[in-house]
Structure 1
Amino acid sequence: KAGATAEEMAAAQAGRAEDARTAAALAFALKLVNDRGQVSDADVAQLREVGFGDEEIVEIVAHVALNLFTNYINVALNVPVDFPGVKLNPR
């Protein structure tokens, strides 16, 4: 209901988007998750190259952290899912 197509959502899960800025943010978010926050200066520089400022970079990190926190709470406390499930792509 956010205006993204199923194809766009599948691409986003894989860190891809047609828009260069969105693609850079998704790739950075995936790197944060996969590498447990261990990003390099070059990773941050790639965001700056497509126009992200410090505040926006911190916001990306905050969104990733909030989603991880929410997922941990849901798993740890066995919170029932009350919305349609989204099939995740295995990596």
Structure 2
Amino acid sequence: MTRITVHTTDTAPEAVRPELGALAQQFGKVLNIHGAMAHSPVVLHTYIAFQQVIGDYGTFDSRTREAIALVVGNVDECTYCQSAHTISAKAAGLSEDQTIAIREGTVDFEAKLAALLDLARQSTANKGAVKDDAWQTALDAGWTDAELTELSAHIALNLFTNYFNHLVETDLDLPAAPGL
């Protein structure tokens, strides 16, 4: 059970009502994560700003972004994010079986993506540290230094939401991701 009340667009602080309303329109309702973030304008605005910067300047397509989010959510054991990003990953073109393989770390359907996700998994599990051979494998698979450094922003965004969900114990208001 969540530690805090989930705000609606009517109960949220004035400083976040427009943004919470826009998120509600985008997702069809106020998701529990967004309603909980609305308690602190700095939290909701940071989340939105992070999303905006990645949207404006990021080079990964939505399929790759969602795969990264699934890896981070799995390593960090965030049920909410694994569920949300399973839905988004399927909308971005990944099958349910592929989302499971990504979460399990058994990506055998695309070598280039697997190399990037291995780096994301290592970075998430090891406080940012990755093995030299994993970095080289990702380069050899076709990722650039710019893309591999961009990966850190995607990991950070997902850790931000994972940690937030762990902190407030966000209740799941989406279909649960398939079990592993």
Quick check: 1:33–1:64 contact (8 Å CA) kept in 2? yes
For structure 1, the residue ranges without an aligned partner over 5 or more in a row are: none
1:33 corresponds in structure 2 to 124
2:143 corresponds in structure 1 to 52
In our comparison, the structure showing a higher alpha carbon Rg is 2
1:62 corresponds in structure 2 to 153
Alignment of 1:3-14 (within 5 A): 3-14=93-104
1:42 corresponds in structure 2 to 133
- Bigger relative contact order, structure 1 or 2, given CA contacts below 8 A and separation 6+? 2
Structure with the larger helix share: 2
In structure 2, relative to structure 1, the CA distance for the partners of 1:88 and 1:79 (3 Å cut) is same
> Could you list the per-position Cα deviations for residues 27-61 of structure 1 after superposition, in whole angstroms to 9, with x for gaps in the alignment?
11111122222213222111110111111101222
Q: Which amino acid aligns with 2:92?
A: A
For structure 2, the residue ranges without an aligned partner over 5 or more in a row are: 1-90
Deviates more, 1:38-47 or 1:75-84: 75-84
Equivalenced residues, count: 89
TM-score, length-normalised on structure 1? 0.82
The percentage of counterpart residues that share the same residue type is 33
Provide the C-alpha distance between the structure 2 equivalents of 1:47 and 1:64, rounded to a whole number of angstroms: 16
CA root-mean-square deviation: 1.7
Q: Which amino acid aligns with 2:130?
A: V
In structure 2, relative to structure 1, the CA distance for the partners of 1:14 and 1:66 (3 Å cut) is same
Quick check: 1:8–1:17 contact (8 Å CA) kept in 2? no
Q: Which amino acid aligns with 1:46?
A: T
In structure 2, relative to structure 1, the CA distance for the partners of 1:67 and 1:17 (3 Å cut) is farther
